[in-house]
Amino acid sequence: MSEKDNQFLKIAKAIPLNEQSPSGFSKRIMEEVRELHARETTMADERFLKLARNMPLNERVPYAFEKRIMAIVRDLRTENPFIIWSRVLWKAVAPCVGIMILTALLSFNHSRSTTDSQPLLSKDNSEENFEIDTADFETVMLASFDDLEYTW
């Protein structure tokens, strides 16, 4: 080794070790690692799907299964009387509502026609009529008590 070479080595050794990594280097590596991992797992789920798709369809039916179902179905056919009763009640709902509406309309018309033909209350003597009505009401209410007096 010449003197020049030794000098060069000396200088080379004297240079301090630069352990500095480029900025964002670890992030870049981690991105690659994640991508690799994702590719691997994607492959795993593709493998899973391949396996699942290759599973043959098992359409085996237990012996006399249809007989079992038919027995249940026939039991269902002999219905509970309460279910039949509730069905009848539901069917009666519509006619009952119809009758109710009709009765309400008739009574409304009737009350209107009586108020039209007998205008008992006028605006002027409404207070007077109210008093008369109250008196009548009292008489009617106390009529039963009056009768009780005679029983003593």
Partner 1 sequence: MESTEILPNDDLRTDEEIVSAVVGGEVDSFEELILRYQPRVFGMARKYFRNESDIEDVVQTIFTKTFQKIGSFKQTAPFEHWFMRLSVNTCYDALRRRSKHREQPVTDLMFEDESWQNRLDNIPDPDDQESLDKASELVHSVMVQISDKSRIVLTMQELEGRSIKEISELTGWSVSLVKVQAFRARKEMRIAVERFLKKEENL
Binding site for partner 1 (CB under 8 A): 41-42, 44-45, 47-62, 65-70, 72-74, 76-77
Backbone phi and psi for residue 118, each to the nearest 5 degrees, phi listed first? -120, 85
Computed from CA positions of residues 102, 105, 107, 110, in that sequence, does the dihedral angle turn out positive or negative? negative
Q: Closest distance between partner 1 and the C-beta of residue 14, in Å?
A: 47
The identity of residue 78, as a single letter, is T
Q: Closest distance between partner 1 and the C-beta of residue 31, in Å?
A: 18
Q: Which is nearer to partner 1, 64 or 94 (CB)?
A: 64
Distance between CA atoms of residues 8 and 99, nearest Å: 118
Q: Closest distance between partner 1 and the C-beta of residue 36, in Å?
A: 14
Q: Which is nearer to partner 1, 71 or 101 (CB)?
A: 71
How many other CB atoms are found less than 10 A from the CB of residue 36?
10
Q: Which is nearer to partner 1, 1 or 57 (CB)?
A: 57
